[in-house]
Structure 1
Amino acid sequence: MNSVESAKYRKHLEEGGVPPQQAVAHADALGEVLHNIQESMATRDWVRAEIRTQLQDLKFDMVKWMITLFVTLFIAQTGVTIGAVIALIRYLPR
C-alpha cells in the first residue's frame, strides 16, 4: 500500500472512531501484509515461462513416446515378416 493509500485508509479509520495511533498501526500492518502478498504473487512473465517449460517437457515426452512406439512396431513388423518368410520356406513344396 503506498503512502497516499495508507493516509487515506488512516483517515477513514479515524473518521470511524479509531484512535489515531491505532489507525496508524492498522494502516502499517495492512500495508505490510499487502506488500508480502504482492511479493509472493506470480507475475505474468513467470507464468508464461512456467507454461513454456511445461509445454517443452510435454513435447519431449510425446516425441520420446512416439519413437518408442515406432521402434516397437518396427521390431514387431520385422518379427512377423521373418516368421512369414520362414513359414513359406518350410511349407512350400520343393
Structure 2
Amino acid sequence: MNSVESTKYRKTLETAGVPPEQATAHADALGEVLESLASKAWVKAELAQQLGDLKFDMLKWMISLFIAQTSLTIGAVIAIVRYLPH
C-alpha cells in the first residue's frame, strides 16, 4: 500500500475513534499484507508458466514413446509374418 493510501486509511480509522498509535499499526500491517498478496500473485503466475512448460514436456515424451512403441510393434509383426512357415 502506498503512503497516500496508508495515510488515508490511518485517518479514516482515527476519525472512527481508533487511537492514533493503533491506527498507524493497522495501516502498517495492512500494507505488509497487501505487499505479500502481490508476491503471491507473482508466484501463481510463475507456477502457471512452469505448469505450461511441464505439460509441453510431458506431451513431447508421450509422442516420442508412442512413435517408438508403434515402430517396435510394426517391426515385431513384420518379423513374425516373415518367419512363420507358409
Q: Same fold (TM over 0.5)?
A: yes
**Distance in 1 between residues matched to 2:7 and 2:74, nearest whole Å:** 74
Q: Does 1:87 align with 2:81?
A: no
**Distance in 2 between residues matched to 1:27 and 1:48, nearest whole Å:** 32
Pairwise CA RMSD: 2.3
1:33 — aligned with what?
Answer: 33
Identify if the C-alpha distance between structure 1 residues 31 and 15 changes in structure 2 by more than 3 Å, giving closer, same or farther.
same
Q: How many residues align?
A: 86
Structure 2 gaps of 5+ residues are none
Structure showing greater radius of gyration is 1
Q: CA deviation at 1:11?
A: 1.4
Structure 1 gaps of 5+ residues are 89-94
Of stretches 67-76 and 31-40 in structure 1, the one that deviates more from structure 2 is: 67-76
Amino acid of the structure 2 residue aligned with 1:55? K
> Could you tell me the TM-score, scaled by structure 2's length?
0.77
